Structure 1
């Protein structure tokens, strides 16, 4: 999929998705668009690429005056464009889990934390713009977002990040998984773990997977990347997560120094062809550091 190409998730659906072009040529971030009576954008990608989203809305003939901007969580590959879209669409409303709302109003700490966490990937980012507090609706577990002809139910999913939520379309049963179901992208075999610092929690992530399973989703709308049939992907992700944490723990016991553990996994990353060398290696390093911090706190 070329960045900016708008694709309907299934025939006749009011839901579309696109790659906003984050992280160079890699098909990594999904942005979803609802062409519904109350239109919505689910996740926003990096602020660097917000114009691509605005162009997609125009392509679909969607007026952004009453737009719902809905980041699944405030990590900047999901919410980095929220302030830019809010500025471009001055009557739009931003919906975000209550635990992350303050970071959209004043993103200074979020920006500093991102710079510390993502390593070389920072070249793809741009500093987020604040969202006026009056334009934010804070969401809690069990809340619903009204899109006119359907509702999105809100389900707190704090294992990956304390401010993460997943959303289920009550009309179709599809679930926007955020990072709670891992990474499932073209060109990368299987489901991959995502365990960035700070705040990754294995038990919490496994509980989130179980929660999504209990929603009995008809489709999984991955933030990384695109729609997928549920099949056994959730069971697979639970197994992958446990194996990933165990492998990092074992390698730390063998090598001792955390820098050596990070380098071991970075040197063996197999996503370079799909994501490019900078994204692939920096992503692996970040995920290893997240597990190491989790092991320190466990």
Structure 2
């Protein structure tokens, strides 16, 4: 079957759908299909919903055959479109992390939190108004529980570190984990000789590096053949990517703890993060110019520096309280 340009077959019964958020090749939702039944993992923003519905049409799946919508966490590039999507899927149940479910039922706090980071103009341009989900259609997950799609098992993994409201899904059938943002970001522009490059994301406001390391090691211990990343699509060679992820995470932590708390720290974090990523990419064999690399990573540098700043402030307060 020929697929439209915004869809790719990631594995057996797993399709990555480019949501078109920010740019092509940046943000993906996944559609899982088993024996004519379906589930979405992540949903992008409101503006992604037409593509998600079109993917169903391409595969000949009725709206009523979608049983579950499962956002990995409630950041808006993953869950901003779930309310609008649920309106189109009359038989679907929304499965959310217990820390995030209430924000999908009543998204006002979620909206205000994102508004503080992005501003109203960007919120309207990139996300649109959030649509609440009827509480009767929402269920919460627990670590280790199993969700079933036509007998296909998805095991829930509680994976804090990027956000405390983050869970991942282990699909043993395809040997893959739907990782959301826990296992970082991997843009296809940085692939070299078929090998992916990956790096952690520390976007505001719940970046916790120790918890993140534990979550990544827990995923790696499953020995998955592949990872389904929201940013972006499917990657394999998981042992190598695990080592790369952890090495960059350690470097990010060392950078943050080595900088004094000053008005210049945010800009110093951005500059330091770029040096870390650039050195890693050069070692990876990336031949892009520095400016091309910086352009692709510009938004991540800003958001990761913001998130690290929040983490460093929390850590400083904890150290004061201990003393």
TM-score (norm 2): 0.82
- Is contact 1:174-1:219 (8 Å) kept? yes
Q: Supply the distance in 1 between the matched residues of 2:167 and 2:87 (Cα, whole angstroms).
A: 24
Judged with a 3 Å threshold, the aligned counterparts in structure 2 of structure 1 residues 151 and 32 are, in CA distance, closer, same or farther, namely same
The answer to whether 1:291 aligns with 2:290 is: no
Paired residue secondary structure (1:253): coil
Runs of 4+, deviation exceeding 6 Å: 266-272
Offset, 1:218: 1.7
Equivalent of residue 32 in structure 1, options 21, 30, 33: 30
- Is contact 1:4-1:56 (8 Å) kept? no
Equivalent of residue 244 in structure 2, options 236, 243, 254: 236
Q: Which residue does 1:163 correspond to in 2? A: 165
Report the number of matched residues: 291
Q: Supply the distance in 1 between the matched residues of 2:257 and 2:201 (Cα, whole angstroms).
A: 16
Offset, 1:164: 0.3
Structure 2 unaligned blocks of 5 or more: 192-196, 279-289, 316-323
- Is contact 2:178-2:227 (8 Å) kept? yes
Q: Which residue does 2:319 correspond to in 1? A: none
Paired residue secondary structure (2:139): strand
Q: Which residue does 2:71 correspond to in 1? A: 71
Structure 1 unaligned blocks of 5 or more: none
Offset, 1:9: 1.4
Judged with a 3 Å threshold, the aligned counterparts in structure 2 of structure 1 residues 235 and 202 are, in CA distance, closer, same or farther, namely same
- Between Structure 1 and Structure 2, whose CA radius of gyration is higher? 2
Q: Which residue does 1:150 correspond to in 2? A: 152
Judged with a 3 Å threshold, the aligned counterparts in structure 2 of structure 1 residues 241 and 259 are, in CA distance, closer, same or farther, namely closer
Q: Which residue does 1:86 correspond to in 2? A: 86
Q: Which residue does 2:268 correspond to in 1? A: 261
Q: Which residue does 2:6 correspond to in 1? A: 5
- Is contact 1:265-1:285 (8 Å) kept? no
Q: Supply the distance in 2 between the matched residues of 1:65 and 1:121 (Cα, whole angstroms).
A: 33
For 1:171-250, list aligned pairs within 5 A: 171-188=173-190, 190-229=197-236, 230-250=238-258
- Is contact 1:255-1:261 (8 Å) kept? no
Q: Which residue does 1:20 correspond to in 2? A: 19
Q: Which residue does 2:137 correspond to in 1? A: 135
Offset, 1:246: 1.8
Q: Supply the distance in 1 between the matched residues of 2:291 and 2:116 (Cα, whole angstroms).
A: 22
